[in-house]
Amino acid sequence: MSDMATNLEDKKISKNFIELIVEEELAAGKNGQRIHTRFPPEPNGYLHIGHAKAICLDFGIAENYQGKCNLRFDDTNPTKEDVEFVDSIKEDIHWLGYDWEGREFYASDYFGKLYDFAVELIQRDLAYVDDQNSEAIASQKGTPTEAGTFSPYRQRTVAENLDLFQRMNAGEFAEGSRVLRAKIEMSSSNMHMRDPIIYRIIFTPHHRTGTTWKVYPMYDFAHGQSDYFEGITHSLCTLEFVPHRELYDWFVNQLKTDDYAPRQIEFNRLNLTYTVMSKRKLLQLVQTGVVDSWWDPRMPTLSGLRRRGYTPESIRNFVDKIGYTKYLALNDISLLESSIREHLNQIATRVMAVLNPLKVVITNYPEGQSEELDTPNNPEAPETGNRMIPFSREIFIEKDDFMENPPKGYFRLFPGGEVRLKSAYVISCHDFKKNAETGEIEEIYCTYDPETKSGSGGIQKKVKGTLHWVSAPHAFKAEVRLYDRLFMDENPDGHKDKDFTEFLNPDSLKIMPNCMLEPSLKTADLSQKFQFTRLGYFCLDSMYSTTESLVFNRVVGLKDSWTKQQKG
């Protein structure tokens, strides 16, 4: 076994098929045992959880085999790209825990070299300018079982092609009026080999190269060559690029001067249930105001997941669990949710917040008095210690934790009933006040039993229900946002006759404006995660919180409510 593999051995995780290929090549001494990958985002949108799968693989392979991973922006289409996206992509990769060690490259860095290579192909009679528009070219492509037909411009002389290509780049011809095509084989069984378009005319200025260029390389003409220029050994991409591989290799073979060539390997992309993942569709959700931004907490973008309260660890764990194969899959979003639940269970501080406050007056507790009660910050992490929470004569509980006429088996509060207040006392209800007109319960009256103080060695009286609560004079008001899945259909993208927007969940955001929170949450910061007792995991919202008014997001509930619903 090559000692290059030791990092992986230490981690004791099973190897995926790409790691096995890498190890075989290392053992065979290929590329001087050099491992060099790249992550190649197009800066036309924010990164999503699917990209995280690619990032973990590209950077992970480099990390595990003492290699390098470049960040390369695939910025070949100025009409869709923007620096806003470049910045967000870098931030998201760092957040996930990876670094490109200064190797930040752009396909546009190679526009000069790519242009020269195109000129060389023309000189070798391997490329020609076609004066037809894209529809005409498509109509001559043939079908997988029928050869295509030659373009009437295929036999142009080298001199004419050189002249036209240079004038295309000088801006002499309108967008769409001419393209440069590779001259390969119109009868190839691979449609991508049938004289593919390699350059098109675009007048939109480029976010990095301005108006220097009027011709821009197609993805297929830029990608493999950029890999080659950077010395990439393993060009990892998703399965839809399988049919592009022959063309990738063809271009690299025209370019290479020795043994070295980058190798494209394809893996299955991440698709999530109840989610759309294409950047075009995510952009549509932003532009039509369905969500508040690319980083809306309901978006599957990394910035959305971050704002929602997902941790990078939970995302890396999830990606690890689903693995890398050659088979298309639709991954269950509940697996992602259980990953974050698992992590937050370890790290979240347990606090109390009441979303729908109902006032409880403890009639035998002295007016004007209060006390501090001891409560653990996180029983899963005893080293986080305890903190004190205030208790007093007036507290809030959840409205639906009280019922005037409870059904059998109701273990919360009702007239004559008893419950424990978490980390406090047992209380029993003796009266309540009801609004005569609306019938709404306005206040309830209880007594507490001073002998039942939690954790004090007092009487650990057996009661069936435990409620969360906050002390009314000490609590503060905040907004809490509850999220649900953005789509109600398992595969919103998978319907031929219906648009994905038809499956939007109208209840994906529920705003609770009048929640009462325990005072320790006043100083919450964005790095902290909380478990609100009985309600789920929460964190501060980075967009709407101000120093005067805090807004909290629910990351995820304590249990998988969807699976439960489906079963019962």
Q: Which residues are the active-site residues?
A: 42, 269, 279
Stretch that binds ligand ATP, among 10-18, 119-127, 143-151, 272-280 (CB under 6 A): 272-280
Nearest to 337 by CA among 268, 380, 277, 275: 275
User: Distance between CA atoms of 561 and 361, rounded to whole angstroms?
Assistant: 33
Residue 238 interacts with which of Mg ion, ligand ATP, none, CB < 5 to 8 Å by class = ligand ATP
Nearest to 163 by CA among 112, 209, 203, 128: 128
Provide, rounded to whole angstroms, the least separation between the CB of residue 85 and Mg ion. Answer: 13
Task: Between 269 and 422, name the residue whose CB sits nearer to ligand ATP.
Answer: 269
Provide, rounded to whole angstroms, the least separation between the CB of residue 58 and ligand ATP. Answer: 8
Subset of residues 237 to 266 that bind ligand ATP, contact rule: CB under 6 A: 237-238
| Number of residues located near ligand ATP, criterion CB under 6 A | 15
Subset of residues 26 to 85 that bind ligand ATP, contact rule: CB under 6 A: 40-42, 50-51, 53-54, 74
Subset of residues 179 to 218 that bind ligand ATP, contact rule: CB under 6 A: none
Provide, rounded to whole angstroms, the least separation between the CB of residue 444 and Mg ion. Answer: 59
- Does 279 sit near ligand ATP (CB under 6 A)? yes
Rounded alpha-carbon distances, angstroms, from residue 560 to 342, 345, 348, 556:
12, 14, 18, 9
Measured on CA atoms in the order 307, 45, 64, 328, is the torsion positive or negative? Answer: positive
Provide, rounded to whole angstroms, the least separation between the CB of residue 219 and Mg ion. Answer: 7
Task: Between 302 and 540, name the residue whose CB sits nearer to ligand ATP.
Answer: 302
Which residue reads 């593919």 in tokens? 196
Query: Does residue 491 contact residue 273 with C-beta atoms inside 8 Å?
Result: yes
Task: Between 74 and 401, name the residue whose CB sits nearer to Mg ion.
Answer: 74
Task: Between 75 and 130, name the residue whose CB sits nearer to Mg ion.
Answer: 75
Provide, rounded to whole angstroms, the least separation between the CB of residue 191 and Mg ion. Answer: 18
Q: How many CB atoms lie within 10 A of CB 538?
A: 27
Residues making contact with Mg ion (CB under 5 A): 42
Provide, rounded to whole angstroms, the least separation between the CB of residue 268 and Mg ion. Answer: 16
Contacts 24+ apart (CB under 8 A), 5-10: 5/64, 5/65, 7/63, 7/64, 7/65, 7/66, 8/64, 8/65
Task: Between 42 and 449, name the residue whose CB sits nearer to Mg ion.
Answer: 42
Residue 50 interacts with which of ligand ATP, Mg ion, none, CB < 5 to 8 Å by class = ligand ATP
Residue 428 interacts with which of ligand ATP, Mg ion, none, CB < 5 to 8 Å by class = none
Task: Between 92 and 541, name the residue whose CB sits nearer to ligand ATP.
Answer: 92
User: Distance between CA atoms of 519 and 480, rounded to whole angstroms?
Assistant: 15
The contact mask relative to ligand ATP for 280-319 (x = CB under 6 A, - = no) is ----------------------------------------
* Phi/psi at 530 (5° precision): -130, 150
- For 103: left if phi > 0, alpha if psi spans -120 to 50, otherwise beta; the answer is beta
Task: Between 326 and 510, name the residue whose CB sits nearer to ligand ATP.
Answer: 326
User: Distance between CA atoms of 145 and 142, rounded to whole angstroms?
Assistant: 8
Residue 454 interacts with which of Mg ion, ligand ATP, none, CB < 5 to 8 Å by class = none
Query: Does residue 35 contact residue 51 with C-beta atoms inside 8 Å?
Result: no
Supply the DSSP symbol for 56.
H
The residues with which 428 forms a beta bridge, in sequence order, are 418, 447
Q: Could you please report the per-residue DSSP string of 451-492? A: GG-TTTTS-----S-EE--EETTT-EEEEEEEE--SBSSS-T
- Does 234 sit near ligand ATP (CB under 6 A)? no
* Phi/psi at 105 (5° precision): -120, 165
Nearest residue to ligand ATP, scored by beta-carbon proximity: 50
Stretch that binds ligand ATP, among 12-20, 122-130, 196-204, 273-281 (CB under 6 A): 273-281
Provide, rounded to whole angstroms, the least separation between the CB of residue 72 and Mg ion. Answer: 12
Which residues of the chain form contacts with ligand ATP (CB under 6 A)? Answer: 40-42, 50-51, 53-54, 74, 237-238, 269-270, 277-279
